[in-house]
């Protein structure tokens, strides 16, 4: 490797220690929290290097080791792509191979912050029990003790060790797209600790004391994270070499836009992330709702319509037909924005306009398949409350019905789209969804099965019968007449 041509990394000096443990060493973390931390350290050094933990995969861990912790972030706009080299990770390893190291780090007084990017699935949140998904095998395994397989188990075990070691306060920061992410995470961890105790697991005595200690010493700030970060592809390595001089097996492509909004609850200190543009506010909930309901739901709608249209990229789908943008904007404005109070500091019209520019950025190359993956847990978070909000007011949100119908069509009938062009989205529920598709020929029955009976979504959706009927109608239209007719039908119903 020719290092002489490499650009100076960010920060340009090594951090004064490693105070952050990050669980989930994927692209999003490396293009988001890591960048904020590197910029903060560049301005003001401190003990905020990051120890990165991958759950299973070696790919990034090996690359970071090989590259002395350096990797590149490629900021892709259509005219001026830019590359930066980061050097903010001081160590990296794989949790599945070294579970005890995860525990040891959590119990280490030098660690002051744990951040997490583990996706919606990583929380094992059951819409049915509104808590830990006790049916999940990995959760049952973690409750029974032994090397944890889930991040909830890792935190339960690690916090116990920290408490026993009297290692001091800590902030545990969810950076995933969940409603009320800090509080949900805290509740999941607490439930895991109690469940381990009830199971009689030898190491889990004195839960009440541990839970009291967590309440007093461990903060779970809520956060809103935002940056579109696609998966790394072949072409990004050569792009990295051109833009930064680094031969990089861990390059991360990302859009220019970035935003991070957090509650300022860090009992053991934190980097000066505000220097890098992070916003600290008590009103994170408003930003979370804006992001999940307006950005993420629209992204999901674009991905499923895109799959059904045979479009590989989100940007292609958006550009394919003006009606696509019309129906997405309809969902944003009529179905989503009325359901919450947007943050006072945000100009909603500007936000929406900017969002369409972001989705339309073809240089980013965000794939329909990637956004469509894990649709079951994503949609449960994104649409349930807004549907119920309208149902309580006697209204039927048609854009949300199109979103649900297109998700159902994609996952219950794999023949409904050209997977050889778009790729197949993954989802832990996919086999059960295909089975439901086989069992229920009648759209009404299929909608009832997927949205109410299976346990993917809250059964409370049964309280929106008119909406469920519209989902079934649109599902039928998708099947018999195709996407364009279903969009027209949704728009017509939405304007009623
Ligand atoms: C996307 C998000 O995959 C998805 O469901 O909607 O990953 C989205 O790109 C990010 O949340 C943007 O911040």
C-alpha to C-alpha distance for 222 and 183, rounded to whole angstroms: 7
Tell me: cis bond preceding 11? Omega within 30 of 0 counts: yes
pLDDT in tens, the chain (496 residues): 444 578 999 999 999 999 999 999 999 999 999 999 999 999 999 999 999 999 999 999 999 999 999 999 999 998 899 999 999 999 999 999 999 999 999 999 999 999 999 999 999 999 999 999 999 999 999 999 989 999 999 999 999 999 999 999 999 999 999 999 999 999 999 999 999 988 876 566 678 999 999 999 999 999 999 999 999 999 999 999 999 999 999 999 999 999 999 999 999 999 999 999 999 999 999 999 999 999 999 999 999 999 999 999 999 999 999 999 999 999 999 999 999 999 999 999 999 999 999 999 999 999 999 999 999 999 999 999 999 999 999 999 999 999 999 999 999 999 999 999 999 999 999 999 999 999 999 999 999 999 999 999 999 999 999 999 999 999 999 999 999 999 999 999 998 7
Comparing CA positions, the residue from 217, 123, 109, 98 lying closest to residue 179 is: 123
Separation of CA 27 and ligand 1 centre (Å): 12
Residues 6 or more apart whose CB falls under 8 angstroms from that of 395 comprise none
Pocket test for ligand 1, best of 255, 259, 295, 427 (most atoms within 8 A of CB): 295
Nearest residue (by CA) to ligand 1, atom 11, is 226
State phi, psi for 70 to the nearest 5 degrees: -90, 150
Enumerate the domain spans of the chain: 18-280, 284-494
Please provide the CATH number assigned to the domain covering 18-280. 3.40.50.720
Give the Å distance between the CA of 177 and the centre of ligand 1.
8
**What is the pLDDT, as a whole number, of residue 1?**
44
- Please tell me the distance between residue 225's alpha carbon and the centre of ligand 1 in angstroms: 9
* Ligand 1 atom nearest to CA at 225: 13
| Centre of ligand 1 from the C-alpha of residue 296, in Å | 6
Most informative mutation of 296, 361, 364, 376 for ligand 1 (most atoms within 8 A of CB): 296
Bridge partners (DSSP) of residue 140 are none
What integer pLDDT is reported at residue 202 of this predicted model? 54
Q: How far is the CA of 287 from the centre of ligand 1 (A)?
A: 15
Distance of CA 371 from the midpoint of ligand 1 (Å): 7
Phi-psi region of 85 (alpha: psi -120 to 50; beta: other; left: phi over 0): beta
Angle (deg, nearest 10), helices 375-392 and 465-480: 130
The pLDDT, as a whole number, for residue 201 is: 65
Ligand 1 neighbours (beta carbon < 6 A): 177, 226-228, 296, 299, 371, 378
In the reported structure, the alpha carbon of residue 408 is separated from the centroid of ligand 1 by a whole-number distance in angstroms of 19
Q: Which two tokens stand for residue 44?
A: 């003001």
> Do 145 and 203 touch, CB atoms closer than 8 A?
yes
Nearest CA to ligand 1 atom 3: 371
Rounded-to-integer distance, Cα 23 and Cα 118, Å: 7
CA 248 to each of CA 30, 89, 254, 258, 424: distance values in angstroms, whole numbers, following the listed order: 13, 15, 15, 22, 27
Query: 442-455 burial by CB neighbour count: b if 16+ within 10 A, else e?
Result: ebeebbbbbbbebb
Q: What b/e string do you get for 202-216 counting C-beta neighbours within 10 Å, with b at 16 or more? A: eebeebeebbebbee
Q: Which atom of ligand 1 is nearest to the CA of 366?
A: 9
CATH class of 284-494: mainly alpha
Of all atoms in ligand 1, which is nearest to the CA of residue 295?
Answer: 6
User: CA-CA distances (angstroms) from residue 261 to 95, 242, 258, 339?
Assistant: 28, 33, 10, 20
């Amino acid at each position: 490797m020719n290092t002489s041509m490499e650009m100076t990394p960010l920060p340009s000096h090594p951090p004064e220690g490693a105070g952050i443990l990050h669980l989930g060493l994927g692209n999003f973390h490396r293009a988001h929290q890591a960048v904020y931390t590197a910029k903060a350290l560049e301005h003001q050094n401190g003990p905020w290097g990051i120890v990165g933990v991958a759950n299973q995969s070696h790919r990034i861990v090996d690359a970071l080791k090989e590259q002395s912790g350096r990797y590149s972030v490629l900021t892709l706009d259509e005219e001026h792509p830019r590359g930066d080299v980061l050097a903010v990770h001081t160590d990296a390893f794989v949790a599945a191979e070294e579970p005890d190291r995860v525990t040891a780090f959590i119990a280490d007084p030098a660690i002051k912050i744990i951040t997490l990017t583990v996706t919606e699935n990583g929380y094992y949140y059951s819409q049915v029990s509104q808590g830990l998904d006790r049916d999940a095998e990995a959760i049952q395994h973690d409750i029974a003790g032994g090397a944890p397989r889930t991040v909830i188990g890792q935190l339960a075990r690690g916090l116990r060790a920290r408490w026993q070691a009297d290692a001091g306060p800590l902030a545990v920061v969810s950076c995933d797209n969940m409603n009320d992410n800090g509080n949900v995470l805290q509740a999941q961890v607490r439930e895991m600790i109690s469940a381990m105790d009830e199971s009689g697991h030898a190491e889990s005595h004195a839960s009440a004391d541990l839970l009291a200690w967590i309440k007093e010493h461990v903060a779970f700030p809520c956060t809103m994270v935002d940056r579109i970060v696609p998966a790394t592809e072949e072409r990004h390595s050569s792009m990295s070499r051109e833009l930064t001089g680094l031969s990089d097996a861990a390059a991360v492509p990302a859009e220019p836009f970035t935003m991070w909004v957090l509650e300022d609850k860090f009992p053991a200190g934190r980097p000066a992330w505000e220097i890098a543009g992070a916003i600290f506010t008590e009103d994170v909930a408003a930003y979370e709702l804006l992001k999940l309901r307006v950005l993420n739901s629209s992204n999901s709608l674009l991905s499923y319509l895109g799959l059904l249209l045979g479009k590989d990229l989100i940007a292609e789908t958006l550009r394919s037909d003006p009606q696509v943008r019309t129906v997405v904007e309809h969902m944003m404005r009529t179905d989503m924005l009325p359901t919450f109070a947007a943050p006072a500091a945000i100009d909603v019209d500007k936000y929406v306009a900017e969002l369409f520019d972001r989705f339309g950025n073809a240089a980013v190359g965000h794939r329909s398949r990637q956004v469509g993956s894990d649709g079951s847990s994503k949609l449960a978070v994104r649409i349930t409350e807004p549907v119920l909000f309208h149902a309580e007011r006697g209204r039927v949100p048609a854009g949300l019905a199109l979103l649900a119908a297109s998700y159902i069509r994609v996952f219950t009938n794999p023949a409904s789209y050209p997977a050889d062009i778009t790729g197949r989205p993954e989802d832990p529920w996919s086999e059960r969804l295909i089975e439901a598709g086989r069992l229920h020929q009648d759209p009404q029955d299929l909608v009832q099965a997927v949205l109410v009976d299976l346990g993917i979504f809250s059964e409370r959706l049964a309280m929106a019968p008119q909406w469920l009927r519209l989902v079934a109608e649109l599902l039928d239209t998708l099947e018999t007449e195709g996407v364009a007719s279903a969009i027209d039908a949704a728009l017509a119903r939405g304007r009623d």
